[in-house]
Amino acid sequence: MKMTFRWYGQNSDAITLKQIRQIPGCTGLMGLLDYKAAGEVWEEDEIKAYIDGVHTAGLACEVIESVNVHEDIKLGLPTRDRYIDNYCRTIQNLAKYGVKVIVYNFMPVFDWLRTDLARLIPEDGSNSLYFDEAELAGMTPLEIVRRTADGSNGFTLPGWEPARLAELETTLARYAAVSEDALRMNYKYFLDGIIPTCEAAGVSMAVHPDDPAWPIFGLPRIAHTQVQFDAVMALNPSRRNALCLCTGSLGSNVENDVPAVIRHFGEMGRVACVHARNVKHLGQRKFREASHLSTDGDIDMYQVMKAIYDTCPDVYVRPDHGRMIWDEKGRPGYGLYDRALGITYLNGLWEAIVKIAKGE
């Protein structure tokens, strides 16, 4: 298990590499270039500059996140081949600098969705990301975009980049004619187009679950249950067609048995990385992000880590979506303190699991 941390880069993140390097047991990053629009090629010089800086700080960078898939690919438009070609070039460029896993998603329009980015947690006075479908029912897509932008503390948020959402109404209208089956076929076309490049470059594509784990605004969503992920794996048999299992995204739906899902796909050899976080259910399709401690939420994080140990012990793991604690101001969900605590907790669970397995 390789413990990592998400970092946006020195020009986009208030957290420094020096601070990340001081987190016990954190050996690398899941990095990204947050200024790259979906469909653009990630060029060698900018990749090299990012990864060289990470290496200089004493950290590894073998996982890259948020190489976003252009909407034309998801919609199956004639322009998709050009964007698939660009994606293949990005894969090749990242591989040249030691990247082994690319985390992405195939969610139409919205990368993830919350109705509040800083909901007070009355038990301790911290705040965290929060979702309530009842609140969403009273908002239009444009209103939720504005609310998200206003609550981001001036930072960009993954999947909510202004350029990507500039044509929101037009994009939503196009999806009106796209069924789940059609989206799945467009997904297969994308995978068939990039997997040969992945095979040649030694890079695994790790798809992230829909977040939250159900349809939003009537858009088709095809990656939020074990059955749906079985179908995704069947789209292309290559082991390079893999998963990033996010425990919080999957766990937002009470019907998902998160440790069981990890075991199922871990035994298949299709888990490339894990985003480990906890959620607290507050009602029907209503939840908040919790601390990583199992008793603070509704996901048994010990069983999550045990499933990883038993079935896919060599994967990359990172803490996800921490609370904002100790008066920290930063990118919602991506503060330093609570994610650092999360790493310490997850590493503690891992140490205990390893020692129990060895009979120590």
First vs last C-alpha separation in the chain = 19
**Which segments of the chain does DSSP mark as H helices, in order?**
17-21, 44-56, 71-75, 80-95, 133-136, 141-150, 162-165, 168-175, 180-201, 226-235, 247-251, 258-267, 301-311, 337-357
Question: Around 119, how many Cα atoms within 13 Å sit in the side-chain half-sphere?
Answer: 16
Positions annotated as catalytic residues are 208, 246, 275, 320-321, 334
* Residue located via tokens 């900018």: 46
The 3-state secondary structure of 209-234 reads CCCCCCCCCCCCCCCCCHHHHHHHHH
In whole angstroms, what separates CA 351 from the centre of its chain? 25
Q: In the numeric block, which tokens belong to residue 299? A: 């996901």
Q: In the numeric block, which tokens belong to residue 76? A: 């199956």
